[in-house]
Structure 1
């Protein structure tokens, strides 16, 4: 990215100390300062600038503004008589307040970097008449720095003797403090000051937020950590986030990435006794600069030294033509709305053919996808057109906006801009009483009509591998599910209540899953499960396994691994259902147990084949019924068949049809040891045929009774003898001879009749 300069690089006329600060005074315009000012090019970070780099910055500031380094100033003071008397902040441009009291630490040189969506940094080179300050006692303390443009005798006082330039404050906490060089009458120290937001880089945690907006989450964190100086200036309706996980990261990292995700940006507003973190989502966050919001461009004119700017550079940057997001929502897996596209409004040549396509588990609903894609495109477009400048406007701050005037290029003149980065440089020259108090800044800005949006640069934790968790639910319950998902408690979650509120509903991997078919085994409360994370996203867990532990042991643990199976547990009761396989050599077994009922449905054929051994069906208590609704039932036994009813009845019923018992070879025996034997034919006939053999009926100690409407007894076939008995008569037939006996008479018909022939 290159910038087009609209400054001429010439030094202003006259012998002002500011002659070194014009176009070439900062190494070809913005030069080295511009590199650090950047285009928000550095990722938001929590680290402080290194000691060597910090010293180089402060030395550069001294050289640029006074032509001497802070170290050379300290050496010069040490070589002067009455050096300590010079160490006072009275009439000095840059002043400091610290817990050590007045005039203990005096600012030699100052560099301040203000940013949007990045931590600011305040670096000071300090002088003190005390060489043995307990440096560890001041770290973590609050200090403040002020710019006093109307300090007596100062050049700024002479140039800006009006209301246009007011005091400027910087405030924060000491993050590092150290002694530099060899102590003398005057000792040098270096200090780095940070905002309270920086303290969030020092604390890491693992926790879960549910069903809260980003503002809710951030406010909860800030207040919980003891910080209250923050403000929200949000114009867009905030989405409620169902599930947000902070995992093994600093609070700063978590807050920064959450702000970036939700399209919010932040900066700091400095006041005399405090600094405020301000958070917004539109350019309304940037307020007009005070006391003046109109800034004039003077080029190389010395007039710029009076609250103006003398350098203005512009650059365009090629970005991307379209952003496409795609994601999968298991609630609506076929929905086409999980694919969103946002084209750019930029008109650069060849930009239409470029695309940034991302597939990731960031959003669950199409509205979120469109919103996040729009944020990403606005962040791209905010990077496309930037301006850099340099000048003397102390009021410049990243919480502000200004209107540029007096610029020869009409495209810039009378246009408003928001400040994204400001670097302030200031020094005090203690070698001269009431000498110049020089100041200069450089800045990066954006046209106010271009919506600013931060890039998503803060990394989200990536969940490598799997984690152990325990299934949780309401107290007193054993199962807590919405049908296919459960809630879990992660062991790293110190705030989880283990009552079913610890997580979102988490899907459970099953051995088979389809639309109305598959395998299902829902983990129960207290079970340890193995959790993986889709795309490594901590916000997208899925249960991929279950494991035994010391309190939930394998039910087949004592079988040396030779037994496997499935054993359930009755819900809120005892007992279980079980399918078990034993692979013990010589004792292999398949065991099935139903704690109560067992139903088997076979849509077509069923076959049970016992190759060798016995088959036993035992109904200990209850009934055994075999029903063939349509079709036949056959039993074939190559040995004996025994039916034993030890107590109760044996009943065979044929509703419609015949009943036939055939003994092809052998005997049929029916024995009633005690009791009665009864055969009843309600409607129809009864036939008993012995084709070959005898029929014997015996009642040695009883009565044999035959009762019927009619009774026929036939002996000898068609030519034999028959007896016919009815309720009215008895008839005996043999050939043409008949004897009939009724209540009135006896009739005998025969070719010959003999009555008592032997007795004559």
Structure 2
């Protein structure tokens, strides 16, 4: 008799066909603003599955919920291996990840101008061929005059942009697809259907019909309460654009402050916005709630209300920030174990506390100077703005057209410069110039000299 996954706690659909692969064990881990990962242990009557027919393809795991409902976990197989035999069947292992994971496999050097971070992020996704995106952003994100992807993966590039702007994401799964949901405000989250409230009951041998939380731990830690930063805008050099934000939190610690420079902004309004995001990023780590549950609908990015906890102050709404799920199906052999196993552990945050992703993705640093070619509008020999800035075509920019749109305006260092005295040397279109980067930042080029080449 052919083995089937019908009426099992967990099952898998693959492009190989119905029940060609049988799901034996399954684990899934996810976190806000992160790639999820599925690990699958699979059995098959076929011991000669052709790997190209499964690697890179989309699969869906289905988990049985109460009331004959189903929760889906969808992803792309990023790794597949054959791992011996079990009861006469071939055993395979697979790892599935989201479509966003494919962006870890590509890297580029690219310039974006006068676009907001969400616009840049969406363009990267479109160019990679991915459109399963839901935009739930509510904030106003300022345009970046100049933003460079430099020798980094598409994934790292969009990740650091999101971290800078306080944007994060979570995943919604369906049968056959998964969708990234972009958010920047806690009001964008809702409960997983059917799991709006989950009661707490301490561990016991007594079987319960309803889903519940049986382990609950609370942790708070000292965190800075003040974030201050500043920057410099050469167009308004006398302006003080320092910005600061303080969180009013009551405990026995002092009001510790973090000060940073440069803040990567040009005016006080932008500075205040980023100061708020930075302090919210810090404060999101102040209190963490962790639990274990029988509830199969716990998922990062969704909320729930805890009830029946002996500490009244714990009976409130929470946003799930991380979740790990594991499930095992019974043996597929007659006389084998019929036990179906499920476990879920999670971490959560008070639903009223804004969540911001930690800035963990490093920004590339350009070590040392480069050369570039001065460019400008068609037919112009000298093309500058009122500050004597010029535009350049970098040798690594394969998308630039060597015209007035190739870069931002770049300041030119002079031998002598001051108010109403000094001298100015203007690089001409076609000249090769030496470009350095303030603090190694690809977004902050400055011309420090000119060099001859075989043509100039």
What's the TM-score once normalised by structure 2's chain length? 0.96
Shift of 1:303: 4.7
State the Cα distance separating 1:135 from its structure 2 match: 2.2
Q: How does 1:730-745 map to 2 (within 5 A)?
A: none
Q: 1:146 aligns with which of 59, 62, 74?
A: 62
Residue deviations 1:64-96 (CA, integer Å, cap 9, x gap): xxxxxxxxxxxxxxxxxxxxx474212221110
Pairing partner for 1:93 from 9, 14, 17: 9
Match of 2:151?
248
Instruction: Tell me the residue number matched to 1:374.
Output: 276
Shift of the 308–184 alpha-carbon distance from structure 1 to 2, 3 Å rule, reads closer
In the other structure, the counterpart of 1:518 is 422
1: CA distance, partners of 2:348 / 2:287? 9
Contact 1:113 1:422 in 2 (8 A): yes
Aligned partner of 2:267 in structure 1 is: 365
Q: 2:310 — aligned with what?
A: 408
CA–CA distance in structure 1, aligned partners of residues 356 and 263 of structure 2:
21
Mapped contact 1:323–1:373 kept (Cα < 8 A):
yes
Which position in structure 2 is the counterpart of 1:426? 327
Alignment-derived partner of residue 466 in structure 1? 369
The offset of 1:292, in angstroms, is 2.8
Separation in structure 1 between the aligned mates of residue 249 and residue 263 of structure 2, nearest angstrom: 28
Unaligned segments of structure 1, at least 5 residues: 1-84, 150-159, 553-760
Q: 2:51 aligns with which of 96, 118, 135?
A: 135
The SS at the match of 1:268 is strand
Q: CA deviation at 1:106?
A: 1.1
Q: Paired residue for 1:528?
A: 432
Q: Provide the rounded CA distance (Å) in 1 between the counterparts of 2:443 and 2:263.
A: 8
Q: Distance in 1 between matches of 2:89 and 2:215?
A: 37
2:304–2:318 contact (8 Å) kept in structure 1? yes
In the alignment, structure 1 residue 226 sits paired with structure 2 residue 129? yes
Q: What corresponds to 1:283 in structure 2? A: 186
1:335 aligns with 2:239: yes
State which of 282, 294, 298 in structure 2 corresponds to 1:396.
298
What are the residue-to-residue correspondences of 1:2-401 with 2, within 5 Å? 85=1, 87-149=3-65, 160=66, 163=67, 166-181=69-84, 185-301=88-204, 302-303=206-207, 306-337=210-241, 339-352=242-255, 354-360=256-262, 362-401=264-303
Is 1:492 matched with 2:435?
Answer: no
- Contact persistence 1:429–1:437 (CA under 8 A): yes
Q: Structure 2: how far apart are the matches of 1:365 and 1:181?
A: 62
Counterpart for residue 479 of structure 1: 382
SS at the partner of 2:346?
A: strand
Q: How far is the alpha carbon of 1:190 from its aligned partner?
A: 0.8
Q: Distance in 2 between matches of 1:355 and 1:106?
A: 55
Which protein is richer in strand relative to its size? 2
Q: Residue 346 of structure 1 contacts residue 381 of structure 1 at CA under 8 Å; is this kept in 2?
A: no
In our comparison, the structure showing a higher alpha carbon Rg is: 1
Say which SS state the counterpart of residue 103 (structure 1) adopts.
coil
Q: How many angstroms does 1:228 deviate by?
A: 0.5
How much does 1:334 deviate? 1.7
Q: CA deviation at 1:345?
A: 2.1
TM-fit CA distance, 1:285: 2.6
1:618 is matched with which residue?
none
Do 1:166 and 1:291's aligned partners in 2 also have CA atoms closer than 8 Å? no
Tell me the equivalent position of 1:6. Answer: none
> Partners in 1 of 2:35 and 2:20 — Cα distance?
28
Give 1:348 shift: 2.6
Distance 2:377 2:371 in 1: 20
Question: Scaled by the length of structure 1, what TM-score is found?
Answer: 0.58
TM-superposed CA distance for 1:350, in Å, is 2.6
- Report how far residue 234 of structure 1 moved: 1.3
Given that 1:379 and 1:454 are in contact with CA atoms closer than 8 Å, whether structure 2 keeps it comes out as yes
Within 1, Cα distance between the matches of 2:434 and 2:263? 20
**Structure 2: 5+ residue runs without aligned partners?**
none
Distance in 1 between the 2:117 and 2:124 partners?
Answer: 11
1:284 Cα deviation (Å)?
A: 2.1
Alignment of 1:474-623 (within 5 A): 474-483=377-386, 484-552=388-456
Distance in 1 separating the partners of 2:202 and 2:263: 51
